[in-house]
Amino acid sequence: MRSVYLDHAASTPVHPEVAEEMMRVMTSQYGNASSVHAYGREAKRLVSGSRDKMATLLGCMPDELVFTAGGTESDNLAILGTMEAVGLQGKHVITSAIEHHAVLHTCEELEKRGCEVTFLPVDDEGRVSVEEIANAIKENTVLITIMFGNNEVGTVQDIRTIGELAHSKNIVFHTDAVQALGTEHIVCRDFPVDLWSFSAHKINGPQGIGALVVKRGHVLSPRLFGGLQEKKRRAGTENIAGIVGFAKALELAVQGLDHRRAHYMMLRESFIESLTHEIGDEAFVVNGHPEFYMPHIINISFPGVSTETMLMNLDMEGIAAASGSACTSGSLEISHVLQAMSLSEKLLRSAIRFSFGLGNTRQEMEYTARKIGTILNRLRK
């Protein structure tokens, strides 16, 4: 049976060049980067070299880059670290209702600790209103955290305008850019953003390694305590192979960014055209913004067929897709993102996220559309 992987928003295959770099490190380097002997110095050289490379590619300074265990830790460190540094009681945070749970659950934890949080709604295309953000700002607002691009519907937010608004009010601005890295043009210094969260496994790098870019001068309270690694911002022995792999994956992603975007747009357009041909444009609805979106994610509802039924049938045909975020899709609960977009019940309960990667082809898009047509016909009978 043919296999088609269309869940790259959850995790991507490790690029062969990334795996090669990591294997070289894992089989030849076992020193601790905090050790002073030759083995430790070599480990430190690998960490520092990767940090310098990534800083250049991301458009930040090397000392602004903090390595973490992934996007979730980066979000937690950015939000909790910022708020605990100024004290939680009586402080105010603004976020949106469609954030990744790494942000939403962290903000809910802030509420338990005496912080006030405003969860802003979005429109039916998944965009946060800058005007509503402005109206939500209070004298005690310390932090605004809005994701760059949504991991379920692909909608991209107006990060530049939101950042300018935050800075005009002396408010810290954090963006979860985990899903945007590798598809959007990101040069950190060119945006009014204080904190950026990233993760390697979304760009054909290894799982278990992430990064947080912290603008110079911004003070964070650490979440982990122990050693003095990462300038006391994140204790723990460095994941050297993961860091080297992340740097290589980022290098490949940035250098091939235009090619990636063009490839994903071709896949997206081919998929829509093939679905239209196979089942008719009245049989499916594309959820999300029609103009401001990341090209590798498309969220589609098939009214009349439940999400669970479609996913099960796709899986039986060898096609991997998802109902939403990888952190919650296993539960098959209705997406909090789609609920926040106030979609109708028939769209909410039939939505599927397809997300593309470098290995996907036009033929796979046509094949998937044909299989969806077969599934719909079978279910109708």
Q: Which residues are catalytic?
A: 327
Give the β-pairing of 92-96 and 285-287.
Answer: unpaired
Of the candidates 95, 89, 91, which has an alpha carbon nearest to the alpha carbon of residue 121? 95
C-alpha distances (whole Å) from 39 to each of 46, 51, 219, 243 are: 11, 19, 32, 17
Cβ 50 vs Cβ 42: under 8 Å: no
Cβ 157 vs Cβ 128: under 8 Å: yes
Q: What is the DSSP string of 286-330?
A: EES-SSSB-TTEEEEE-TTS-HHHHHHHHHHTTEE-BSS-TTTGG
Rounded Cα gap, residues 229 and 224, in angstroms = 10
Cβ 213 vs Cβ 58: under 8 Å: yes
Instruction: Name the strand (E) or helix (H) holding 189.
Output: none
Structure tokens at 213: 């870019």
Q: What is the DSSP string of 200-223?
A: GGGTT--TT-EEEEE-TT-----S
